[in-house]
Chains A and B, each alone.
Chain A
Amino acid sequence: MTELSKSEAAINEPSVASPAPSSFLEVRDLKVHFPTDDGLVKSVDGLSFQLEKGKTLGIVGESGSGKSVTSLGIMGLHTAGQYGKRKAQISGEIWLNGTELLSADPDHVRKMRGREMAMIFQDPLSALHPYYTIGAQIVEAYRIHHNVDKKTARKRAIEMLERVGIPQPDKRVDSYPHEFSGGMRQRAMIAMSLVNNPELLIADEPTTALDVTVQAQILDLIRDLQKEFGSAVIVITHDLGVVAELADDILVMYGGRCVERGPAEKVFYEPRHPYTWGLLGSMPRLDREQQERLIPVKGSPPSLINIPSGCAFNPRCPYADVPKDNVTRTVRPELTEVGGRHWAACHMSQEERERIWTEEIAPKL
């Protein structure tokens, strides 16, 4: 749960639409479950957050923590093009600019896709159609939402390619994705997603598939474009360095839930969840003198079919036995406010966590 008062959330039956929020994007208690032969995979299990225009939210977590599923859920891509019997089960609310997306007409949501919300994917080589030129794909993206002829759309495509820093855009517009380098492809992907001036941009691991040297350029580009277009951006990554670069707010996900959320500087410098400590400890840093060994988070991500009872992180948490009465293994911790706009879900008392962070964790980082 979020700061959205629990009493209010409890009163509202799921079927009764809650009032539209004032935030530009508000996700309330989002659940995305996938039925499989082995059981129900709870990829996202009760996620809430808000995002304002012009701001960037970084969603951080390991593989399988539910980051990408969340972003695809916002885009409505779990339900679009679902063939076969097993459909994803999605509940909760996603409010974008006053429209609740989960209950809205799917065709209306389709029209919002690409125009009001757009997405950049991890691997631009596989995310771009290999048989169509870059230009054709951008032109298509533009013409879905704008009733213009091909010539005008092509001009727009060249303009966008130029804007994202592709040299000789009037020539490269006719190139195929395989004729671009990785960085250029991601630039083209960004050009395509921004061609309709979307107000919400979701970047799902935008730099993971790229060379380290190119990563910084792409992050700079996303930041510059956000300033220029004033859109809201969600950056999904497992790389804390990326969010440090971009994000205003950070949301740390574990096992399909949010374990810590707050302004970037708070999450980086006063983290209040042992999992966030683990993430910070496993991040290589160049700004520290004594570079010791990186400390990995022990164990492996939880099974999303059998999420550990109590705190999902308890099997891997070195402090699981600090709270009394085995509570970490029996009761699921709720998000509680630990400071201004800063929430964490942990059974340890705030004083305890503050002490552990300042005395045990921070000095080692």
Chain B
Amino acid sequence: MLAYLIRRLFAAAVMLVVVILVIFSIFFLIPKWAGVDIALSFVGKQADPASVEGVREKLGLSEPIYTQVWMFFKGIFAGRTYSSGGDVVHCSAPCFGYSFKSEQAVWPVLTDRFPVTLGLALGAAVLWLVFGVAAGVLSALKRGSLWDRGAMVVALSGVSLPIYFTGLLSLAIFSFGLKWIKAEYVPIGHSFTGWLGGMILPWITLAFLYAAMYARITRATMLEILGEDYIRTARAKGLREQVVIGKHAMRSTMTPILTMLGMDLGALIGGAVLTETTFSLPGLGQKVLDAIKNQDLPFILGVVLITSLAVLIANLVVDILYAVIDPRVRLS
């Protein structure tokens, strides 16, 4: 197990370097090859030539590529200083970039918004795991029944209906119609109940989409597992059916669910753009949308970086959990 852990951690570290290199290439190398003036896109189109030259010098765009890569890495892990003549800006580690347009470092803005997105993603994940997996298991056990068909129809609609539809619908009904919920984001530090109230609709909306997917995969996996020989063995031992399902079948059903969870959580933590926009949550997703609208490249880069990081970490956690669940994984 320890050897597996070390192997996974090492692989994750290598992956991290690769990911940073790829992101660097996307934002600095490819535009360069395409003949785009990177400095110009970093300051914005209306900038005067002097400030463009200043940014070019600050970013070290005239330096050789390897120096730029090195500065990029150094910024992330140790911080960097952008200087052009007397104009010096320090960006402390982890430096995910500096927006010359809004004159602020990217990282603090992202960390401000990160808790909103994290809360949204985790809360929704709890909901969709509980309801999606439960519905999937029930559907599998009552295959062909009215419940099964009903649940799968709901699941199908959940998968097909876009968030800006279900989200707006839920807002219209529960917030504006029935006035049960005040749809407004309150930071958890200010008021816990206020936070809960503001998050409940986004959670449900987001969870509905994912619960539908999880119900379907749980049902399919559970049906497959129930046909396994070792389930028959468990019954032949004289185990109660609840234990056969809840312990023997469930443990095997968890593996594909975990795999999905890792990817979904990773991607969501990078910003649930649709949900955050629909419910006006000041999270990463909203920020990235703003950044795209304002062509604020450093923020886009920062969010891409943080999303990749989140996916990387989520997958690492899943890999480790995987090994905890399935002993065969530890070998290979």
Does the CB pair B238–A144 fall under 8 Å? yes
Determine if B229 is an interface residue (Cβ-Cβ < 8 Å).
yes
Does the CB pair A127–B252 fall under 8 Å? no
Which chain A residues border B237 with CB–CB below 8 Å? 113-114, 118, 140-141, 144, 192
List the one stretch of A36-44, A73-81, A157-165, A271-279 in contact with chain B. Answer: A73-81
Determine if B35 is an interface residue (Cβ-Cβ < 8 Å).
no
List the one stretch of B96-104, B117-125, B320-328 in contact with chain A. Answer: B320-328
A176 to chain B, nearest CB (A): 5
Does the CB pair A129–B141 fall under 8 Å? no
Q: Which listed residue, B141, B233, B251, touches A131 by the CB 8 Å rule?
A: B251
Given A130-B326, A131-B326, also A83-B229 (CB < 8 A): no
Chain B residue, CB-CB nearest to A195: B237
- Contact-residue bracket for chain B: 20 to 34
Q: State in angstroms the CA–CA spacing of A131 and B327 once bound together.
A: 6
Does the CB pair A121–B233 fall under 8 Å? yes
Determine if A90 is an interface residue (Cβ-Cβ < 8 Å).
no
Within 8 A of A (CB), among B293-332: 325-328, 331
Chain B residue, CB-CB nearest to A75: B236
Determine if B140 is an interface residue (Cβ-Cβ < 8 Å).
yes
Residue among B143, B230, B241, B326 with the most chain A CB within 10 A? B230
Determine if B111 is an interface residue (Cβ-Cβ < 8 Å).
no
Given A130-B326, A131-B251, A131-B326, also A81-B231 (CB < 8 A): yes
Which chain A residues border B231 with CB–CB below 8 Å? 81
Residue among A83, A114, A127, A128 with the most chain B CB within 10 A? A83
Determine if B177 is an interface residue (Cβ-Cβ < 8 Å).
no
Does the CB pair B248–A129 fall under 8 Å? yes
Q: State in angstroms the CA–CA spacing of A126 and B229 once bound together.
A: 6
Contact with A along B248-260 (1 / 0, CB 8 A): 1001100000000
Within 8 A of B (CB), among A58-111: 72, 75, 77, 80-81, 83-85, 110-111
Chain B residue, CB-CB nearest to A117: B236
Q: State in angstroms the CA–CA spacing of A140 and B144 once bound together.
A: 32
Determine if B5 is an interface residue (Cβ-Cβ < 8 Å).
no
Given A129-B248, A131-B325, A178-B328, also A123-B229 (CB < 8 A): yes
Q: Which listed residue, B145, B233, B331, touches A128 by the CB 8 Å rule?
A: B233
Q: Which listed residue, B140, B145, B235, B325, touches A85 by the CB 8 Å rule?
A: B145
Determine if B232 is an interface residue (Cβ-Cβ < 8 Å).
yes
- Contact-residue bracket for chain A: 20 to 34
Chain A residue, CB-CB nearest to B238: A114
Q: State in angstroms the CA–CA spacing of A77 and B327 once bound together.
A: 28
Determine if B71 is an interface residue (Cβ-Cβ < 8 Å).
no
Does the CB pair A176–B327 fall under 8 Å? yes
Determine if B234 is an interface residue (Cβ-Cβ < 8 Å).
yes
Q: State in angstroms the CA–CA spacing of A176 and B234 once bound together.
A: 16
Q: Which listed residue, B229, B238, B331, touches A113 by the CB 8 Å rule?
A: B238
Q: State in angstroms the CA–CA spacing of A128 and B231 once bound together.
A: 9
B300 to chain A, nearest CB (A): 43
Contact with B along A180-199 (1 / 0, CB 8 A): 00000000000011000000
B232 to chain A, nearest CB (A): 6
Given A83-B141, A84-B143, A144-B238, also A126-B226 (CB < 8 A): no
Q: List 5 A-B contacts (CB under 8 A).
A: A81-B244, A113-B235, A118-B236, A118-B237, A130-B230
Q: Which residues of B contact A (CB under 8 A)?
A: 140-145, 226, 228-241, 244, 248, 251-252, 325-328, 331
Q: Which residues of A contact B (CB under 8 A)?
A: 72, 75, 77, 80-81, 83-85, 110-115, 118-119, 121, 123, 126-131, 133, 140-141, 144-145, 176, 178, 192-193
